[in-house]
Structure 1
Amino acid sequence: MTPDTARIDFDKLFAARLLAARARPYLATALFALHLVESPRVPTMGVDRYWRCYVSPAFVNYTPVEDLASVLVHEVSHLLREHHRRSDRFAREHDLTGPAERLRMNIAADAEINDDAFGDGLVQPEGAVLPSTLGLGSGELMEDYLRQFRLGPRTADLAWLDCGSGADGLDREWELGPDGADGLSEQERDAVRFRVAQGIVGRPGHAPEGWRRWAEAAVHPPQPWRDLLGAAIRSAASAPGVGADYSYGRPARRSAGVPGVVLPSLRHTPPRVTVIIDTSGSVSDAELGSALLETAAIARTVGGRRDLVTVLSCDAAARIADPLCRAEGIPLIGGGGTDLRTGFAKAIRAQPRPDVVVVLTDGQTPWPAARPACRTVVGLFRRDPAWREDDPDYVPDRPPAWARVVDIG
């Protein structure tokens, strides 16, 4: 029986998987979630997005167990890091088509994975693509590498590379597709990724830096805070009663039913917004700059009426309230302690009174004991757990329940 027609040695493949799980225990859930499929059509080993791993019998026969373990870790890494989805997104954003571009994506994905994949019980397979293979620095993502290299002399020997659609998003003829047997559903795939990420976050010392960054993002995905902050402000500004007042400028239609009496009509005007920016010493210059950018975005949220947006800088004392239309830059004065209660009091006493108060702060402040007479949105700069030398158990108070809170930054 020739190697091309030989049956796959599953015992050898299972031994390689066990070796991979022992070398990388935080990936064990993913390794055993892979469904191994014998396929003489695959060049070596490849995966599809449904967590099937296609294995060439000839490749298993002539490859040492130690190398097979490393390749299994490599292939499952493509799936955990969702290279198929990221490749599709990159292709759409940059209008890339054709197998050559997908090969380039596969190479870039390999460089991201192999950067810190080997050692500590895993050998480096022959021909593994490293960032140095492309003449690039380490520690970057697939998308970063894609922007820095093109197919050429450095990649001439990599035309054979084929890790399947799980690496670059391009379906292969030898794959079973979405209707084939033994694929994982989207919910099952997400469950595997989350469980692996939880294991890495729980014992971060056992994983390289690249895996720790991936796990942190998987367990705590970045919040689309700009969208959330805009939605919170729009919701507060469009709530019943906000920006509404009676006017005799246009009599109410029901005046016709009351002869001799002129009834006012209820008119809806654009809401007035006061932005309180925390300028205490605990807020960085970068965060103050971000606060000014958000203030400009708030003006767009209320229809571009910058004359209806007032900015108030506040640390332990409330400063001058500046109309947003007065100047291109708003002076932010402060740098001391924090007590935003003075800012709330000044904002509520203003005439005309604001319909919505937006507070941009790090949260290390006392809050008003009573709910203000207007809707409140709090943009909270993210912080590591706070502490004080004189009080190691110190935890800053969360904003009150009556405020709509959005973590920003």
Structure 2
Amino acid sequence: MRSELEKIILNLGKKSPFYLYLLLGVSRIPSKDVKTIDLSFSRFKTVLYYNPDWVLKTSSDFVEGMIMHLIMHLINLHFLIKPKDSRDRVIWDLAMDAAINQHIPQLAAFGIPLNLLIEEGHGVDNERLFVLPPDWMPDKSAEEYHKWILKRMEELGRFDIMIMGEIRESNSDSHKGLYNVQNVDMILEINKNILKKAFNLYGSELPSGIRRLVEIAVSRPVLNWKDAIRHFAGASEYGERYLTVLKPNRRYENQPGWRTSHAAKLGVIVDTSGSIIEEELDKFFSEIEALSRYVDTSFVLVQVDRAVNLEMRYSKGDYRNIEIVGGGETDLQPAVNYIEDKYRPEGIVIFTDGYTDLPSVKRRVLFVLSKYHSEEFSTSARKKYGHSSVVVLP
């Protein structure tokens, strides 16, 4: 027997097969832990959690609108947004909803313009109140509404945005799941593939406003270079677990206990071969210095041309005194093997121009290519390791 939610989804599919196709890639899980309906990410899956009691007591038209709301967050790739702090998160919450609710008639009927929320301090999203854009500013992106909110708050100089945040945390649309993506590159790649297929099959049937949003999403670069490098720097600090008699077992006396080896959080390889010019090296070490600000500890850095030339623990500011060793032909594999065997890092970032063979990497890998890079290398890396495994510096 189909659940009430599945009936609503099937009815939505009759109106627009585009949305039904997207929902084929979304797991639906009933849960009393959510107040209404929520979007989250588990490993490499997108999950829609819903409260079955709420679905039963709520009109199917309104539930359909809430499903559309979550789908629109996926279409707009809002899970890529990374707020700077709790205050910025509240601003992004409002900006994202202003961008999408205007396209959902079931929710727009209960909407209040963003300018009133900011200027008069009205309550924000709850089950029957949804954020809309200012009347004079329709069809903009979340980024544009975010910028407008910051500017307007600066002009007012008096509105405490955190009040809205406290209200939002206790209502039906807190967006918590959107900010908790562990495998963002994989989720992004999977989501965009499904979105492209759905658009190719059924995009012509969409309203013009939504069709434009989908076109922007499918043509958008998978990750910009700053986001990709920053995300990679957040790899787990933990390595492998092993038994050791040096640590007592807390459950069983006279038995060895578990200990976790702390692997290098990040391994960095810098191509210093003869094909790398000074401008490229300057760019590489500028980003390596930025990396040192994202991680809590130093990370291992290896310079390589056709062999490993220099190994060091890089900490903030080391670029001032670092010695560049190399100048020969290029072979990245020795450096990859060296770091994987000695440090077992969770991820490896490789700075190169790509004028060499693609190395075989067992760990998660990100290739940071200079603007003078080899297109053949870039294409091969994306094909083998995924589209989001390559970024190009400007």
For Structure 1 versus Structure 2, the TM-score category normalised by the shorter chain is 0.3 to 0.5
**Which protein has the larger Cα radius of gyration, Structure 1 or Structure 2?**
1
Could you state the TM-score of these two structures normalised by the residue count of structure 2?
0.43
Could you state the TM-score of these two structures normalised by the residue count of structure 1?
0.42
Larger helix fraction of residues: 2
